[in-house]
Structure 1
Amino acid sequence: MYLGEISPADIRGHLTSMLTVAVKLGTLMEYVIGPFLSVQDLALVSLIGPCLFVVIFIWLPESPYHFLRHNDRQKAINSLVQLRDKEDIHEEINNIERSVKADLANESGFRELLFVPGNRRAVIILLCLGGIQQMSGAHAVIQYAQLILDQANTNLEGKYLTMILGVVQVIFTVICLSPLPFTVASELFPTNVKALGSTATLVSINLWGFTVLKLYLIIAGNYGTHVPFWIFTACSLAGALFMLFYVPETKGKTLEQIQKELHNSSKQ
């Protein structure tokens, strides 16, 4: 949400997608150092990242959307000047202010999230994208990587194969569909329901992930390891078609433009 609100339209997609790239980098780090540390030592090393985040995030400027939601225009201007590193931000701040006022004129409950056509379409898109992401099998492979790779009967131990897997994941996360749910979640919801919609999306993604992780071992154990991977392949293909025909293009568009197009298309 924060990255979506502070990013210029032309680089917003790149910045918000870095969230998932960072997750994969963290996973790679765990794969590399995990086999050589105790569980307790690994947990302590893993605390370094969150602690650095807390310290650094204190110094980041608040979103101009946040200040405008609280009727503090001057602080919003100061924030945007700091974020853009230029003084000529009046047109952008006026556009943001109009958008925030229009959004806040509406209610912010589940009713608005589900019964306003544009918001409902955003919910459908995000729930489906979250399901597609999890049904691609990415987290099942991460969770059971060493178990899966130990069955490959290669000369390398599973722990070294997981390191190679971690590198491959980082590379292809940069170029594939993996960050989409988080990127799109920061773009599709209007201000009044953004927090609620984003929370619902995250809950949905984690429920999908929990279900896939639980079912993977059952299906693989009863029908063979290859069967879940055929299911993952079919879901990925269906997901590609869904994105091609139903998910709107948001690249290079302001959040205000995206909302207009989303609500206008929902009325047709």
Structure 2
Amino acid sequence: MMIKLLNNGAVHQYMAGITCSITLAIMNSAIDWSAPAIPKIRNNETQLKLTDSEISWMVSSLYIGNLIGPIPAGYLMDLFGRKTTLLYASLFPIVSWVTMLIAKYPYQVYFARLLFGIKIGFIYTIVPNYIAEISEPKIRGSLSSSMQIMSNVAAIYEYSIGPYVSYEILIYASLLIPLVFVLTFIWMPESPYHSVMINKDNKAKKTLTWLHCNKSEEEIEKQLTIIKYSVKEQMKSKPTFKVLISTKGNVKALIIAILISIGQRLTGIGALMAYSSVTIPENSIPNFAKNQCVTLLGIIWFLTSVSSTYIVYRHKRRTLLIISGIGCGSSTLLASIWFFVEEKTTYSDFSDKIRWLPYISFILHAIFYAIGVGPIGASLRGELFPANIKGNASAICSISLAITSFMITKSYLIVANYYGMYLNFLFFGLSCFAIVIFTEFYVIETYGKSLQEIQDELNGLQK
């Protein structure tokens, strides 16, 4: 599939989309870093001393910063451009990792994680819009999958290095990722939609010519005309928060994007990544240490996200969301049952015989998450909104996602310690089935449609 698309001239779109997606590796390096770092902190292998309560704040303070980032990100991406804003925002993770390196006290760690969270707010707000605006409809879904791939590359990176190096070396290794992003993304073009928004049509044409390197000048002119028309129609109203609820289409888009964004976190993916080292039961796989199980899970996350690129390219969004929700829900309910038997019953001998069940459930969760809720949730945030409210709408979606992520990561260990790990996974499972119901009755199909066609459908207009 990839070779066919590259032969059709999509190579430059993939270059721009994939380099932009490195920001997801920046983001997930901070999330996944916790898994190998927590055992080092607990075992006093670092100058940093934290209690379990302080560790939960260390993990969740990331999402407090995420609450701060989206609003300025939405404003700045329209003012300075998607590319420029992402590049300058890379200062946040760089400063964050340096601060973590010298931190001796909890408040220093919280500050560093807060800075990183601000960058995550920028990523969630800007990246889906950039990818949607530089890609043609037929590859938009697979490019959104590249975001999931980069997330899982970070997981493998952190899980593979973390257990075998010191706390300080792990931070140095993590610091490399934002540097790689800056050195690669700086050569990519600005979104043609933003260029049109600021009346730089020649720059937009130049970008389109590069992105669609196999198309004739006549085809490029036609595409530029479509973008100019779309932007003109969508920019008739000033980009205020009031405009978000001014039309039926905007309201519907906002409801879909917010609830699917929240649904992404309610599947439990963030908690699994951050706390995998304390969630996976001992001896889940015979002759495998827990660190090796964590690394293997990271590899599975990566492989499933790569294979999902083809699936997302070939199949409709709603179908994949429904299948993904059912699969994630079933797998987390299986894990919940095992933890319940292990923690709350006298049948521990039975649970020992099937000690592999939670780990298999996590693998199934990874597979089903990668084919639907993961990539499609991000794709919808970039597809559903008109140009005049993209920034504000993306900011609200990112804030919703951040609040959900904070609540889950902060409560995860508390719920596990006081009530039982089973309750976390019971909640995740029920949430997944709620996503299925919502998708079936409310989410529109965006597969293979231009951004303008999506707006027409949201507003009930004929093509």
Q: Which TM-score bucket, shorter chain as reference?
A: over 0.9
Q: Which has the higher contact order (CA 8 A, sep 6+)?
A: 1
Report the 3-state secondary structure (helix = DSSP H, G, I; strand = E; otherwise coil) of the residue aligned with 1:108: coil
Give the counterpart of 2:388 among 179, 183, 192: 192
Quote the offset at 1:115 in angstroms. Answer: 3.2
Hey, what does 2:375 align to over in structure 1? 179
CA displacement, residues 229-266 of structure 1 (integer Å, 9 cap, x when unaligned): 1211111111122122211111111111111111227x
Report the 3-state secondary structure (helix = DSSP H, G, I; strand = E; otherwise coil) of the residue aligned with 2:460: helix
In 1, the alpha carbon distance for the partners of 2:397 and 2:460 equals 23
**Would you say 1:11 and 2:11 are equivalent positions?**
no
Hey, what does 2:434 align to over in structure 1? 238
Do 1:130 and 1:208's aligned partners in 2 also have CA atoms closer than 8 Å? no
In 1, the alpha carbon distance for the partners of 2:255 and 2:445 equals 15
Report the 3-state secondary structure (helix = DSSP H, G, I; strand = E; otherwise coil) of the residue aligned with 2:188: coil
Do 2:235 and 2:387's aligned partners in 1 also have CA atoms closer than 8 Å? yes
Aligned partner letter, 2:389: V
**Would you say 1:70 and 2:201 are equivalent positions?**
no
Hey, what does 1:54 align to over in structure 2? 182
In 2, the alpha carbon distance for the partners of 1:118 and 1:176 equals 23
Aligned partner letter, 1:170: F
Aligned partner letter, 1:168: I
Aligned partner letter, 1:252: G
Hey, what does 2:295 align to over in structure 1? 163
In 1, the alpha carbon distance for the partners of 2:456 and 2:209 equals 26
RMSD of the alignment, in Å?
Answer: 1.7
Do 1:133 and 1:178's aligned partners in 2 also have CA atoms closer than 8 Å? yes
Do 1:139 and 1:209's aligned partners in 2 also have CA atoms closer than 8 Å? yes
Hey, what does 2:448 align to over in structure 1? 252
Do 1:9 and 1:253's aligned partners in 2 also have CA atoms closer than 8 Å? yes
TM superposition score normalised by structure 1: 0.93
In 1, the alpha carbon distance for the partners of 2:156 and 2:257 equals 27
Quote the offset at 1:151 in angstroms. Answer: 4.6
Give the counterpart of 2:424 among 225, 228, 238: 228
Report the 3-state secondary structure (helix = DSSP H, G, I; strand = E; otherwise coil) of the residue aligned with 1:11: helix
Hey, what does 2:227 align to over in structure 1? 96
Aligned partner letter, 1:141: L
Q: Which runs of 5+ in 1 are unaligned?
A: none
Give the counterpart of 1:208 among 382, 386, 404: 404
Quote the offset at 1:154 in angstroms. Answer: 4.9
**Would you say 1:44 and 2:172 are equivalent positions?**
yes
Do 1:68 and 1:100's aligned partners in 2 also have CA atoms closer than 8 Å? yes
Hey, what does 1:30 align to over in structure 2? 158
In 2, the alpha carbon distance for the partners of 1:22 and 1:138 equals 15
In 1, the alpha carbon distance for the partners of 2:225 and 2:437 equals 38
CA displacement, residues 51-95 of structure 1 (integer Å, 9 cap, x when unaligned): 121111111111111111011222211110111003331221111
Report the 3-state secondary structure (helix = DSSP H, G, I; strand = E; otherwise coil) of the residue aligned with 2:374: coil
Aligned partner letter, 2:256: I
Aligned partner letter, 1:160: Q
Give the counterpart of 1:136 among 267, 291, 313: 267
Q: Which sits farther off after the overlay, 43-52 or 185-194? A: 43-52
Q: Which sits farther off after the overlay, 127-136 or 217-226? A: 217-226
In 2, the alpha carbon distance for the partners of 1:243 and 1:210 equals 24
Quote the offset at 1:152 in angstroms. Answer: 5.5
Give the counterpart of 2:210 among 76, 82, 102: 82
Quote the offset at 1:99 in angstroms. Answer: 0.4
**Would you say 1:114 and 2:245 are equivalent positions?**
yes
Do 2:134 and 2:192's aligned partners in 1 also have CA atoms closer than 8 Å? yes
Quote the offset at 1:153 in angstroms. Answer: 5.5
TM superposition score normalised by structure 2: 0.55
Quote the offset at 1:182 in angstroms. Answer: 1.5
